[in-house]
Amino acid sequence: MGDNMALLCMLHPGTPEKQKRCLDLLRRSAREYYRQPSAKCTTWSYFTPFPPPKPGKPANPAIGGMEIYTSKKALQSQVDDPAYFQSYHDTVKRENLYTKEEELVAWYRAAGFEARQGGGKEGEGVLISISRMQCKDRQKVVETITDFAKWVLANEPFVLTYALFTRPKAPNEVVLFVRYADGKGLKSHGEAPEHVEVVKKLSTLLTGSLGKGTTLWQEVGDSFASQADDASGSRSKL
């Protein structure tokens, strides 16, 4: 298990207007705080449900987030920060932005890469998939995805992030977090023979279907920040 501690977040604004207010606050944090080395945040990304609702249909104002820190201590430093973290939550309470408490689950990066050298594309065209998997043999799942992530990094420049996470409190569970440059990249990745082969291999190592545990999201523009090393050891630029 790696040192990088991640928070997979789920926020519950009460309305689309309150969702917009939350996103404006989160963007400010991404621009002004999380791009600084002192933040010790290797990756920060926030996203909304995809596809967006059709006209006339009720909107889902949920917000998802992935925050990755260099260590548990670095995460605590962020929690203690008065100008951004505490200020954000004070605003949420004061303006009654949430319908219920946010969900925060801690994970540790086990395989893959958080960002490509040069930082890669960011913005509203970026799509995200989050796959939650229940494993028969978690170690074999980690090994399988570790090998495949190397192929993705070398051959699929439209896959911007491909990171696998585990946590001690869920010994049979993993989460795969993937960012795609656009819908075409998502489609190309899914149709690649190498991906099809990996899915077949994983199907023998999981207790359920990979597809059933996968949700799609759209990254919020100006919300992504990264100071991560990619799988080749190169430092990603902001």
Q: Cα–Cα distance between 41 and 68 in angstroms, integer?
A: 6
- pLDDT, tens only, 102-155: 999 999 999 999 988 655 556 668 999 999 999 999 999 999 999 999 999 999
Query: Global pTM?
Result: 0.89
- pLDDT, tens only, 65-104: 999 988 888 888 888 888 788 899 999 999 999 999 999 9
- For 12-125, where are the E strands, in sequence order? 41-49, 63-69, 103-113
Return the CATH fold of 5-224: Alpha-Beta Plaits (3.30.70)
Asked if pLDDT for residue 235 goes beyond 50, the answer is: no
Q: Cα–Cα distance between 77 and 170 in angstroms, integer?
A: 25
**Token duo for residue 113:** 């890469």
- What residue segments make up the domains of the chain, in order of their start? 5-224
- pLDDT, tens only, 169-205: 999 999 999 999 999 999 999 999 999 999 999 999 9
